[in-house]
């Protein structure tokens, strides 16, 4: 028999960490990456695009060298479906057979809020960061509104941290440009305690920082619609010259053409070992999966990396006929950056820590980015 063939779908944090772990554990398995482009887009760095601290070329890392060094085949394609047993991945560039599969194709934003096309979604790719930069530079003054939502069928499927970073980062940028007094910054949320998965102390610090910076808040009101020049909430209308809104998350559209089990919010169902129930040697990792765990378990790169490492090791065990028992840890590590300082939050089972904004956390975030991307260059 030939070497086991493992296919990884997705070139984001989870997919690449899975590939690195698989190759570290085994030089024999045949690895294939399926993705539209052989590139890693480092989306956490988009918060620094409006200030000019980062450009698109700083955040797009070609993967040719990484793939060559690790002997990984690249199948340039979009996934379009999956066979009933999970052993054949359908793509728009042909079928890819596998003995083991890791689904790491991420999530997509729910765009059901009426008028959402009038807002910029901050994490909707590097182009979104550039659009924010250009719109902000073109404004002589006015109101900028910031908010985020969730998936009503799966509240954990959301990502709010980057919105806080844009709020504080844009405030800092406008102050540096000496035009903060020409702008009104407003943060809105349906929750009275936005960012609560970060922990009670972190929420207090975030809201305290908003008050200190004269950033207005409208809390406890559900967004009804976004208009070209306003955000309409249940009781409040916020006139807005630029709206940044992060919707909740659901699974990518290609999953609809697969037999994979889905969560209420449309994500692929995974267990504590990252296995997809009912499917042999099929695993899910990252934002596109729904897993057992605490209600604060984040949708972020660090958590995706932890899941990917465990899934890779468990898949190799399964292919070898060994017991699959390793579970991933639920862990949140977040630095809410404001261009010159960062608020560090870490959370594990039974322990939450939040440090006030400081310059060391800002430097640490930049240093982590450099170190993380170096392994793929």
pLDDT band at 169; cut points 50, 70, 90: very high
How far is it, in rounded angstroms, from Cα 244 to Cα 135?
Answer: 11
Q: Taking residues 104-112, what's their average pLDDT?
A: 96
* 3-class SS of residue 320: coil
Residue 56 contacts residue 42 (beta carbons within 8 Å):
no
First-to-final CA distance of the chain: 34
- At residue 16, the 3 state secondary structure works out as helix
Tell me what pLDDT residue 356 has. Answer: 94
**pLDDT above 90: residue 350:** no
- Which CATH superfamily, name and number, covers 110-249? FAD/NAD(P)-binding domain (3.50.50.60)
Averaged confidence pLDDT in the chain: 96
**So what's the pLDDT on residue 50?**
96
pLDDT value, residue 292: 96
pLDDT attached to residue 1: 60
Mean pLDDT on 325-336: 96
Q: Give the sign of the dihedral formed by CA 148, CA 152, CA 155, CA 157.
A: negative
Classify the C-alpha dihedral 316-318-321-326 as positive or negative.
positive
Q: Which helix (H) or strand (E) holds 128?
A: helix 126-138
Q: What is the largest CA-CA distance in the chain?
A: 70
pLDDT tens track for 191-232: 999 988 899 999 999 999 999 999 999 999 999 999 999 999
Residue from 345, 56, 44, 334 nearest 166 by CA:
44
Secondary structure of residue 8 in the 3-state scheme: strand
What angle do helix axes 13-25 and 301-319 make, rounded to 10 degrees?
40
Q: Which CATH superfamily is domain 5-107+251-319 in?
A: FAD/NAD(P)-binding domain (3.50.50.60)
Per-residue pLDDT tens digits for 242-269: 999 999 999 999 999 999 999 999 999 9
Mean pLDDT in residue range 151-165: 92
User: Could you read off the pLDDT of 302-313 as tens digits, one per residue?
Assistant: 999 999 999 999
Q: Which of 180 and 160 is assigned the larger pLDDT? A: 180
Domain ranges in the chain with CATH number 3.50.50.60: 5-107+251-319, 110-249
Question: What is the rounded average pLDDT of the residues 340-361?
Answer: 94
DSSP per position, 189-247: ESSSSTTGGG-HHHHHHHHHHHHHTT-EEEES--EEEEETTEEEESS-EEE-SEEEEE-
pLDDT tens digit string along 3-17? 999 999 999 999 999
Residue 161 CA to residue 365 CA, distance in Å, equals 14
**In percent, how much of the chain has pLDDT > 90?**
95
Taking the C-alpha atoms of residue 183 and residue 163, their distance in angstroms, rounded to an integer, is 18
Q: Are 79 and 254 in contact (CB under 8 A)?
A: yes
pLDDT of residue 41: 96
Give the integer Cα–Cα distance in Å for 146 and 216.
10
Evaluate if residue 39 carries a pLDDT over 90. yes
Judged against a pLDDT cut of 90, whether residue 280 lies above it is answered with yes
What global pTM score does this model have? 0.95
Give the separation between CA 140 and CA 142, rounded to whole angstroms.
7
Tokens representing 229 are 């020049």
Q: Are 125 and 41 in contact (CB under 8 A)?
A: yes
- Whose tokens are 């590590």? That residue is 333
- Paired with 342 in beta bridges are 337, 358
The Cβ of residue 85 has, within 10 Å, a number of other Cβ atoms equal to 11
Does pLDDT of 2 surpass 80? Answer: no
- Which residues, listed in sequence order, are joined to residue 115 by a DSSP beta bridge? none
For residue 105, give the 3-state DSSP assignment: coil
Separation of alpha carbons 147 and 240, rounded Å: 12
**What is residue 257's DSSP assignment?**
G
Report, as an integer, the average pLDDT of 68-77.
Answer: 98
């Amino acid at each position: 028999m030939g070497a086991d063939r493992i296919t990884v779908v997705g070139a984001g944090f989870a997919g690449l960490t899975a590939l690195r772990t698989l190759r570290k554990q085994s030089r024999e398995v045949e690895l294939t990456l399926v993705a539209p482009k052989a590139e890693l887009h480092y989306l956490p760095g988009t918060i620094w695009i409006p200030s000019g601290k980062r450009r698109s070329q700083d955040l797009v890392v070609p993967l040719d060298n990484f793939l060559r060094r690790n002997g990984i085949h690249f199948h340039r394609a979009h996934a379009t479906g999956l066979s009933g047993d999970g052993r054949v991945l359908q793509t728009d560039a042909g079928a890819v057979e596998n003995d083991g599969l890791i689904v790491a194709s991420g999530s997509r934003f729910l765009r059901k809020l009426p008028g959402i096309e009038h807002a910029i979604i901050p994490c909707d790719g590097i182009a979104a960061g550039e659009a924010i930069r250009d719109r902000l530079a073109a404004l002589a003054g006015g109101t900028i509104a910031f908010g985020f939502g969730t998936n009503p069928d799966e509240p954990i499927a959301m990502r709010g941290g980057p919105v806080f970073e844009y709020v504080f980062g844009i405030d800092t940028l406008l102050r540096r440009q000496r035009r903060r007094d020409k702008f009104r910054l407003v943060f809105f949320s349906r929750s009275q305690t936005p960012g609560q998965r970060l922990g009670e102390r972190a929420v207090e610090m975030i809201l305290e920082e908003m008050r200190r910076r004269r950033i207005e808040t409208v809390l406890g009101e559900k967004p009804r619609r976004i208009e070209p020049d306003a955000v309409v909430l249940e009781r409040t209308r916020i006139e807005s010259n630029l709206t940044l809104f992060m919707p909740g998350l659901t699974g990518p559209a290609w999953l609809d053409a697969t037999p994979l089990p889905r969560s209420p919010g449309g994500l692929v169902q995974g267990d504590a070992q990252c296995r997809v129930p009912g499917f042999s040697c099929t695993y899910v990792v990252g934002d596109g999966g729904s897993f057992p765990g605490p209600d604060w378990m984040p949708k972020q790169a660090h958590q995706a990396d932890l899941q990917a490492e465990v899934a890779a090791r468990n898949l190799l065990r399964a292919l070898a006929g060994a017991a699959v028992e390793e579970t991933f840890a639920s862990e949140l590590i977040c630095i809410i950056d404001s261009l010159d300082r960062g608020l560090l939050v870490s959370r594990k089972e039974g322990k939450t820590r939040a440090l006030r904004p400081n310059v060391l956390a800002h430097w640490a975030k930049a240093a982590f980015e450099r170190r993380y991307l170096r392994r793929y260059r």
